[in-house]
Structure 1
């Protein structure tokens, strides 16, 4: 009996989400592309930007819009928090 394996079974879901850094009570985050099965602080495929919630408003968020657009076009799904951060910077999804 032959076993047929479709490529769809091996499709990997990729997420754009936050990876936590910093010390206790002084967090900052990197906006990264990760396999959805990786833990929050696990291996990232690519780093796209940073988010400093404690910094001044004009320095809180920085990201590479071209790379974010490229990953979204490839099918990566942003987390709810990353979606809010991108919308805050008027980045259309």
Structure 2
């Protein structure tokens, strides 16, 4: 039987409150639990000590028995010094998806087209300017 130390949600709508529980990995999130060993209240400021509370002796017992904490619970235990959490690394998570890359390419193409369009009238204006000056000089001469 795989045992997990995880969060079980409580509280009302938009006011979450979590119990840190030991449960069978196959049981539902808020379903049957083996033991409640703590609580987590995310509504409290991070500086408050009672934001995360748990029974250290029971946590040590369940970790010795082989219970696996979830990532969030592992962070709590790491902050308390009960175990060492290895940081996760997913370099692909921050990369944009296919649609975002497509939009970026379209945006770059549109910017380049706008620059070319802006440059073309400027070149034409420069080419016309000497011709206009020559016409103006001829008009003065007459």
TM-score (normalised: structure 1) = 0.83
What 5-or-longer segments of structure 2 have no aligned partner? 85-142
Quick one: which of 44, 60, 68 aligns to 1:55? Answer: 44
CA distance in 2, matches of 1:55, 1:89: 18
Quick one: which of 70, 73, 90 aligns to 1:82? Answer: 73
Quick one: which of 60, 73, 76 aligns to 2:64? Answer: 73
User: Which protein shows a greater Rg?
Assistant: 2
TM-score (normalised: structure 2) = 0.55
Name the structure with the higher helix share. 2
**Residues 60 and 82 of structure 2 are in contact (CA less than 8 Å); yes or no, is this contact kept in structure 1?**
no
How large is the Cα RMSD of the aligned pairs? Answer: 1.1
Residues matched between the structures, number: 82
Of structures 1 and 2, the one with the larger relative CO (CA 8 A, separation 6+) is 1
